[in-house]
Amino acid sequence: MATAEAPLREIIKSISFTKFPLRTIDTFFVADKIEKPRLYCYPPPPPLEQSQSSIRATAAGVSEDLANLSRLPTFDVKSLCILTALRFIDYDFDVEYTSEPDASPDKQLPFLLFCDGSVLCGKEIMGRLRGVVSGPSSTSDASDRKDSSAALGRLWFPETDLPSELVYRTMAERNLVPAIEYMAWGDPVGRECIGVERYLGHYPGIIQSILGWIKSSEVIQGLKMMQPEYTAGNSMRLDGETVYETAFHALDSLLVLFEDVGDSRMFLAGKRSLLDAVVFSCVSVALDAPVDSPLRKALLCKDEYRRVLDYALRLRRLYFS
pLDDT (tens digit per residue) in 50-64: 434 444 544 445 544
* Position with higher pLDDT, 18 vs 299: 299
Cα–Cα distance for residue pair 88/262, rounded to 1 Å: 18
**pLDDT, averaged across the chain:** 79
* Position with higher pLDDT, 127 vs 269: 127
Omega cis (within 30) before 37: no
pLDDT at 231: 54
**Range with the lowest mean pLDDT among 137-141, 225-229, 303-307?**
137-141
CA of residue 8 relative to chain centroid, distance: 61
pLDDT at 39: 94
Cα–Cα distance for residue pair 152/104, rounded to 1 Å: 17
Residue 145 gets the label, from left (phi > 0), alpha (psi -120 to 50) or beta, of: left
Model confidence at 210, pLDDT cuts 50, 70, 90, reads: very high
Query: Percent of the chain beyond pLDDT 90?
Result: 30
* Position with higher pLDDT, 185 vs 19: 185
pLDDT single digits (tens) 273-293: 889 999 999 999 999 888 889
* Position with higher pLDDT, 114 vs 133: 114
Across the range 6-34, mean pLDDT stands at: 68
Across the range 226-253, mean pLDDT stands at: 78
Model confidence at 150, pLDDT cuts 50, 70, 90, reads: very low
Model confidence at 134, pLDDT cuts 50, 70, 90, reads: very low
Q: Following DSSP, what letter does each residue of 62-85 receive, concatenated?
A: -SS-GGGSPPPS-S-HHHHHHHHH
The answer to whether residue 30 scores a pLDDT higher than 70 is yes
**Is 191 exposed, middle or buried, given 0-12, 13-18 or 19+ CB atoms closer than 10 A?**
buried
Across the range 5-31, mean pLDDT stands at: 66
pLDDT at 15: 64
**Range with the lowest mean pLDDT among 137-146, 223-232, 247-256, 281-290?**
137-146
**Range with the lowest mean pLDDT among 6-15, 108-117, 188-197, 213-222?**
6-15
Model confidence at 16, pLDDT cuts 50, 70, 90, reads: low
> Among 107-111, 132-136, 156-160, which range has the highest average pLDDT?
107-111
pLDDT single digits (tens) 188-206: 899 999 999 999 988 988 8
Question: Where does the chain show beta strands of DSSP type E?
Answer: 38-41, 94-97, 111-113, 119-121
pLDDT at 1: 46
281 and 316 Cβ atoms separated by less than 8 Å:
no
